[in-house]
A and B are shown apart, each in its own frame.
Chain A
Amino acid sequence: MAVTADEYPLRLLRRVLPDWLTREGALIDQDIREGKFQRSLAVIAAISSVFSGWEVTSEHYRGSYSQRIMYSPLVLSGALAVAGLGGAVNRKLARTVMPLVSLVTMLDGVIGFFFHIRGIKRKPGGWRIPIFNIVMGPPLFAPLLFALSGYLGVIASLLRREDAPTNPLPAMLTRDRHPGWLDFLPAPLAKSGRAFEHQAREGMLQRHLAAATAISAFLSCAEALYSHYRNNFRYWYEWTPIALGPLLMAGGFGAVASRRVARTLLPIASLLAMLDGAAGSFFHVRGVLRRPGGLTMPVYNWVYGPPIFAPLLFAASGFLGLLASLLRRSQS
């Protein structure tokens, strides 16, 4: 069988890596391609919810929780962490509680986005000095990034579990499919929702997730841009997420249009983003420790040092992109 250009990188990897790793990798790949990765994605949603919850806790502390609703993402991130883990261990929870909490989280993020827009407007000068007030006001896109972990939970709730049978019968006929929240929507929405779910369960989510990757890359790259701009790009590597963000966006949006991009640019950009995010977190931790007072003022320096998990949220877009590159495309 001729090796297509698309498959070349994978073949290379198989030659280079040890056998047991490639066997595992192949199994995981198979699962993903078949949409059977609910449990893993639920755990990942839980972890990302912990990271973004941690970030929002310190950011809202900088805003002194001056409105009670600022506590909502704090509460929801905890709830989603628990719901995600619950969904990982229990298939019923994965189709009821987890998607419910995830949807509420996404809604909270969207509401937060509008609150932040309003907050910027209410600063002196408002939107007439947009760059200054985006940098110094409530971080504009952070709530949407927060909504991302909810998004992961929603997608996870639509998938099949790792221990589902290999050759699935049509979804309606398997006992694997329990009634879920989609059934409660009005008919037209439920119909397209179920069609989407069917694709998800088949692993045919590539284009959808690629788009989500691009959007998430935009959001976290924008956050990095105005934070690093405020820091005057003191270290040259503060530019790397600014450079990689558009690259990953190109990979994501490109993958929606082209299968080829989905198997080349997208995974490469995603890997780079993940590495960059990991490095970023390391640098941020170092930045916190280097602040005046260091560990003698742990809370203050955590709050006002560089946010240690924010780069990991950039890495999470990379992770999404990698996931997308391993999925199958939907028919249309």
Chain B
Amino acid sequence: MNKLRNPFGPTCTNLAPLYQSGDRPTAAENMDRLPVEPTTGHPLAPREQPGYYPGYRTLAQQAYWDEATRTVVLDRVNHVPPLRFFSEAEVRVMQAVVDRILPQDDRIPTKRIPILNTIDKRLAEDIQDGYRFEGMPKDQEVFRLGIQGIEAIAQKLYQRSFAALTVLEQDRVLETLHDGNPPAGEEYWKQMSVIHFWQLLVQDCIEGYYAHPYAWDEIGFGGPAYPRGYMRLERGDPEPWEQGEQRYAWAPPPGALSGRFAPLGVEAGGKTPTPGQEGTH
């Protein structure tokens, strides 16, 4: 389906695996990538649709959407924009970054959501949110600087390029941004705020992932709702065409640093994170 995908693909294969599978569990590459069943610790095989709503498909309701919405959503699913903004080297880094910020190892390859392409499109067309924090360059520049900063941290910590690190090492690099405490790349970070860069990065990944119907299916969201609205408003009851929840226990890959919920910018020196962007009021 995704003919125009990033040629490197989310399962970036130029990672040299450090251990063969069958070694100590904490070291196997699979163990670092796949979520696990919490009581036994066994990795869970990738599936077509993770989440607690197996078999639920918002796209099955598309005839009930209005035409304008259907066009936009189907375009998003069927036409993955080509990469135009990032250079080849930047793509290598960014794809690995995106794979850690919104990991999709629990999805089979054909059901993965192309995130990098949406970020690339936004930057290529210079679509902005309408404002910039003082002291931040424009988004295009922010990404260019940020990628170099990430590479600098990877080199400092592990003496390798970010794309060549193991999953856990990549998490560690990104975590320093999340904490607002990057150990390297000062010449890049002084041109912008680390926390703002991190937020921009994560928000772009979120927008790429959770705008996609596959993600709606994963979380049990109803999707577009016009002209047919909702009839069951209370107690979280599902609509006749929605699905009830079928929970299963799972935990992030053991040791995955992104599985913790550490406060944003905790190392940045006591400053509360900047008030959020997207509106609700």
Contact = CB atoms under 8 A, between A and B. Distances in A.
A124 interface: yes
A16 B238 CA distance: 50
Contacts of A124: 226-229
A129 B227 contact: yes
A136 B240 CA distance: 13
Given A129-B64, A232-B237, A136 B232 contact: no
A132 to B, nearest CB: 5
B227 A230 contact: no
Contacts of A234: 235, 237
A68 B228 CA distance: 27
A125 interface: yes
A135 interface: yes
Interface in A128-146: 129, 131-132, 135-136
Contacts of B232: 230-232
Interface string A46-84: 000000000000000000000000000000000000000
Interface string A127-171: 001011001100000000000000000000000000000000000
B231 A135 contact: yes
Contacts of B229: 124, 132, 136
Given A230-B232, A232-B232, A125 B227 contact: yes
A238 to B, nearest CB: 13
A131 B240 CA distance: 10
B231 to A, nearest CB: 5
B228 A230 contact: no
Contacts of B237: 231-232, 234
B35 to A, nearest CB: 32
B226 A132 contact: no
Interface residues of B, number: 11
B14 to A, nearest CB: 51
Interface in B219-251: 226-229, 231-232, 235, 237-238, 240
Nearest to A125: B227
Nearest to B244: A232
Contacts of A135: 231
Interface string B254-276: 00000000000000000000000
B231 A230 contact: yes
Interface in B97-112: none
B231 A136 contact: yes
B220 to A, nearest CB: 15
Contacts of A129: 64, 227-228
A75 to B, nearest CB: 31
A234 B240 CA distance: 13
Contacts of B64: 125, 129
A136 B233 CA distance: 11
Interface string B195-217: 00000000000000000000000
Nearest to A128: B227
B189 to A, nearest CB: 49
Interface in A219-234: 229-232, 234
A136 B227 CA distance: 12
A234 B244 CA distance: 13
Which of A129, A132, A135, A229 gathers most chain B CB within 10 Å? A132
A303 to B, nearest CB: 14
A131 B227 CA distance: 13
A301 to B, nearest CB: 12
Contacts of B231: 132, 135-136, 230
Interface in A88-142: 124-125, 129, 131-132, 135-136
A135 B230 CA distance: 10
Contact of B228 (A132, A229, A231, A232): A132
A232 B237 CA distance: 7
A211 B137 CA distance: 79
A231 B239 CA distance: 10
Which of B226, B227, B235 gathers most chain A CB within 10 Å? B227
Interface of A: 124-125, 129, 131-132, 135-136, 229-232, 234
10 contacts: A125-B64, A129-B64, A129-B228, A131-B240, A132-B228, A132-B231, A135-B231, A229-B240, A230-B232, A232-B238
Interface of B: 64, 226-229, 231-232, 235, 237-238, 240
Which are the 5 A-B pairs with shortest beta-carbon distances? A124-B227, A125-B227, A232-B237, A230-B231, A135-B231
Given A124-B227, A132-B228, 9 more contacts: A124-B226, A124-B228, A125-B227, A129-B227, A129-B228, A136-B229, A230-B231, A231-B237, A232-B232
